[in-house]
Amino acid sequence: MLYIVPTPIGNLEDITLRAIRILKEVSVVLAEDTRTSRRLLDHYEIKTHLRAFHAHNEHAKVEHVVDELASGVTMALISDAGTPGISDPGFLLARACHRRGVRVECLPGATALIPALVASGLPCDTFHFEGFLPHKKGRQTRLKYLSALPHTFVLYESPFRLVKCLEELIVHCGADRQACVARELSKKFEEVKTAPLSELLAHYTSKEVKGEIVVVVGSWQ
């Protein structure tokens, strides 16, 4: 059995009672960064063995992990924050488990996507989640595609590339398109700012930006 367990994106209270129980009961917790995850587990007095499973080693380790699971070992997969598999390692392991007949169960829980989308005040009855854009090859093609969508779309972005991203969105979507930048969600300095793209660009060009960022762009209709 593999449990996919969401972990808090900031505030350590944003974890379910079931997630805490599962993390205590499994034999192994597969973690994106064991140092980051150790702080969470220590906070909840979880003594389960941690093992690294991240983007740089998952291709090499996935079959060995599935072999262990198939033999009867129960594991939980967590990422540094949020739900594994959403712009984080997890997809390859879940797919390999299904192919081998190993049961996969994903707990509901924290993700940056939904709080940012709902808090933005932009239409969210239908939306497109893009995640991280390519850094170079294919980036402009994706932006052109996204700009033509008739509904809201959502991006993840680094604080170091936020201004560049907003500049590119203005080129493809227009300066007046309504959008939202949500950062540091659930943390002390949480900020959710909804405004035309031109206003967002002016705001974030004039200040130092830190934290994980979600960009929500409203539809052109």
Confidence of residue 55 (pLDDT cuts 50, 70, 90): confident
pLDDT tens-place string over residues 37-53? 999 999 999 999 999 99
Q: Greater confidence, 88 or 172?
A: 172
- For the chain, domain boundaries: 2-106, 113-217
pLDDT tens-place string over residues 122-159? 999 999 999 999 988 999 999 999 999 999 999 999 99
**Mean pLDDT rounded to a whole number for the chain:** 95
Q: Tell me the fold of 2-106.
A: Cobalt-precorrin-4 Transmethylase; domain 1 (3.40.1010)
- Contacts of residue 27, Cβ cutoff 8 Å, sequence gap at least 6: 48, 49, 73, 74, 75
Poorest-pLDDT segment among 1-10, 52-61, 126-135, 205-214: 52-61
Answer yes or no: is pLDDT of 220 > 80: no
Confidence of residue 20 (pLDDT cuts 50, 70, 90): very high
pLDDT at 88: 83
Q: What's the rounded Cα separation, in Å, for the pair 61 and 20? A: 25
Q: What's the rounded Cα separation, in Å, for the pair 154 and 114? A: 10
CATH number of this structure's domain 113-217, picked from the four choices 1.20.1070.10, 3.20.20.70, 3.30.950.10, 1.10.150.120: 3.30.950.10
pLDDT tens-place string over residues 97-120? 999 999 999 999 999 999 999 999
